[in-house]
Amino acid sequence: MIEEINKIFKLVEFLHHGNTQIRQIATENLVPYSKTEPHIFKISQLAPIKDLKLLVKDYTPIANSALTILINISTDLEILKSLAEDDGFLESIFYRITVRVPPYICLQSSCIQSLTTIQNPTEPNATLFSMLLSNLAKSDSFVRLLDLRRPTVPSLSPTAINAFDQLLDLFNKGVGGSYNPKSKFEYLPYLFADLAKFPSISTHLISIPDSNAPPLLTTFTPHTSPPTLPLPLRLGSTSTIRNALLSVPSPLETVSPLIPYIIPPLLLPLIGSDPAFSDSETDLLPPELQLLGPEHKQETDLQVLNNIVESLFLICARGGDAAKKAVKDMGAYPVVREVHVGIEDEGIRESVERVVQLLMGDEVEERNDEAVRRDEESGLQMGNNVRGEPEKADDDDDKIVEIF
């Protein structure tokens, strides 16, 4: 046991060795211990963490192992703080995943190539960098990305001048692999999902720009469906939408204008391949949802489904009567009704019932009142106790309205 411990600590000391091969051997052999013995990286006032921050810029195999270690140990709060609050370290990550100087360009000021000529970043560890950033977003300090100014990047939008907007544009352009063929950036939505819990971020995502362009939140709507997309992409995107709707501080002013952009892509993954819609119900749906072929499949992941249903609930609950009417007029009720019929998970069913109560509760109550009035007019006198039995209290709070 003592020999094993000594071996581990010797490997940790080799993280800053001058020999490349020794650094590579050390990082590769320390990867398993990052899962089982993460405390070894906290010795000497986090000295190994300082080494690993440098190693992510080393040769690709070394950087790969260093990133894997940091991903595994970033759940530790002390390590998380050290990584997430280090602006210099974050800048090195942002630079490498947005603009990477090709290896043949020397770093001397006399021969470095202008960044304006570098259009296709090829950072081989971009996916691991994205995973690490997503873990670091667990730190509340990461909300500062919205105010963290960065130089404009030629391959990204010229209006993206802070770290948050650049990462958002990177995700938008890179999710299909077109920005960097070595990464699809499918883990970045987890970062946005965590940051969307902050009112400043959710307001930034949901507000309609002055140019009347779509809100930034629509960056995530193409990735809610189909279920063949990577799960991190679907789960992270739907979580971002849900969290933004939950935390936005002025829902009445911001949610309703969002509805035309967001409801169709939220309803799409809820619809199965053979929905039992009537013709009138189909006509309510947005045109792009009316002629889905048999190849269309309903979302299969329960957490993704729940994110979508809860997003519908938040739009209806926080957007006021106008939002409820708009969602209802777009055919949301028959869609969630079929989810309730086809999904056995109780959590999903309860979420659906909350949406239905908002969409149809007033209508059901009106029907009940009308039925009582007709009964009284017809002489049924259901309220009269003709048999002399004790009256039962009518507690509206305990009344269950059967909707489905």
pLDDT in tens, 152-204: 998 899 999 999 999 999 999 999 888 999 999 999 999 999 999 999 999 99
DSSP class of residue 395 equals -
pLDDT for 100 beyond 60: no
pLDDT score recorded for residue 161: 93
Q: Which of 108-112, 144-148, 251-255, 355-359 is predicted least confidently?
A: 108-112
Mean pLDDT value of segment 272-276: 88
pLDDT score recorded for residue 379: 34
pLDDT per position as a tens digit, 119-151: 456 899 999 999 999 999 999 999 999 999 999
Q: What percent of the chain has pLDDT over 90?
A: 71
pLDDT per position as a tens digit, 17-43: 999 999 999 999 999 999 999 999 999
Collapsing DSSP to helix, strand or coil, 207 comes out as coil
Confirm if 298 and 269 have CB atoms less than 8 A apart.
yes
- pLDDT band, very low/low/confident/very high, at 397 (cuts 50, 70, 90): very low
pLDDT score recorded for residue 106: 41
Q: What percent of the chain has pLDDT over 70?
A: 83
pLDDT score recorded for residue 294: 84
- pLDDT band, very low/low/confident/very high, at 370 (cuts 50, 70, 90): very low
Mean pLDDT value of segment 218-231: 92
What torsion do the CA atoms of 249, 329, 229, 35 make, to the nearest 10 degrees? 30
More confident site: 350 or 403 = 350
pLDDT score recorded for residue 212: 73
pLDDT for 320 beyond 70: yes
pLDDT score recorded for residue 7: 82
Residues in Cβ contact with 8 at an 8 Å cutoff, skipping those fewer than 6 apart? 30, 33, 37, 40
pLDDT per position as a tens digit, 247-272: 999 887 888 889 999 999 999 999 99
pLDDT score recorded for residue 208: 80
DSSP class of residue 256 equals H
Mean pLDDT value of segment 370-394: 35
pLDDT for 86 beyond 90: yes
Confirm if 67 and 27 have CB atoms less than 8 A apart.
no
- pLDDT band, very low/low/confident/very high, at 382 (cuts 50, 70, 90): very low
pLDDT for 350 beyond 80: yes
DSSP assignments along 314-369, one per residue: HHHHHSHHHHHHHHHHTTHHHHHHHHHHH---HHHHHHHHHHHHHHHHHHHHHHHH
pLDDT for 306 beyond 50: yes
Confirm if 247 and 198 have CB atoms less than 8 A apart.
yes
pLDDT score recorded for residue 121: 67
Mean pLDDT, all residues of the chain: 85
pLDDT for 49 beyond 90: yes
pLDDT for 102 beyond 80: no
Mean pLDDT value of segment 357-363: 82
When computed from its CA atoms, the radius of gyration of the chain, rounded to whole angstroms, is: 27
